[in-house]
Amino acid sequence: MKVMKKFMDVNEGDNTLAAKKDMLDPTVQQIIEKHPELDAVIEKNPDIIQSLIIAAEYSGPIPHPSVLQQYNNIHDGFANRIIKMAEKDADHIREMQKAIFLAKKQEVTLGQVFAFLIGMSALICGTVAVIYDHPVTAGFIGTGGVIGLVSVFIFGRAKKQNSGKAKP
């Protein structure tokens, strides 16, 4: 933003080389000062100043400090508001992550409770079937319930582990 405004200002108004250099972004001016050979190139071809553009990238929850300072130059307190907004956003993200964690924990706990209840029901029903002289039925109920629960635990965990891996 700042560099583009400077670029447009260079094309308007005073066209002397000194005026054009003064309108450059401070970072570009520092680079030119550190490398005198660039200054010599600019002296030979003053129109090259129009092509001096800086590409900078900054990543983070809040803007770069120099950008924050520019916001404060627009209106006193803007930078503080941006930082507070970033803090609120970070707090919200932490709350959502905590809620997701608690929901997953509750899901696992409920799964274990229901698995226990199903397993016990299968064993009790199998025992009752044996008591009433139905051993084949008891075998199907007892082994079916236990095999079902074991397979859910084994295959369910295997699917969760495989879902975390990248697919080819």
Q: Is 34 within a domain?
A: yes
pLDDT tens, position by position, 10-38: 445 556 767 766 767 677 778 878 888 87
Q: What is the pTM of this model?
A: 0.52
Return d(Cα 21, Cα 49) in angstroms, integer. Answer: 8
pLDDT at 164 over 60: no
Enter the DSSP assignment of 167.
P
Return d(Cα 77, Cα 66) in angstroms, integer. Answer: 14
Q: Is 32 within a domain?
A: yes
Q: Where residue 134 falls among pLDDT bands split at 50, 70, 90?
A: very high
Tally of domains within the chain: 2
Q: Is 13 within a domain?
A: yes
The range of the structural domain enclosing residue 153 comes to 103-163
Q: Is 71 within a domain?
A: no
pLDDT more than 90, % of the chain = 27
Q: Higher-confidence residue: 8 or 50?
A: 50
Return d(Cα 79, Cα 50) in angstroms, integer. Answer: 31
Q: Is 64 within a domain?
A: no
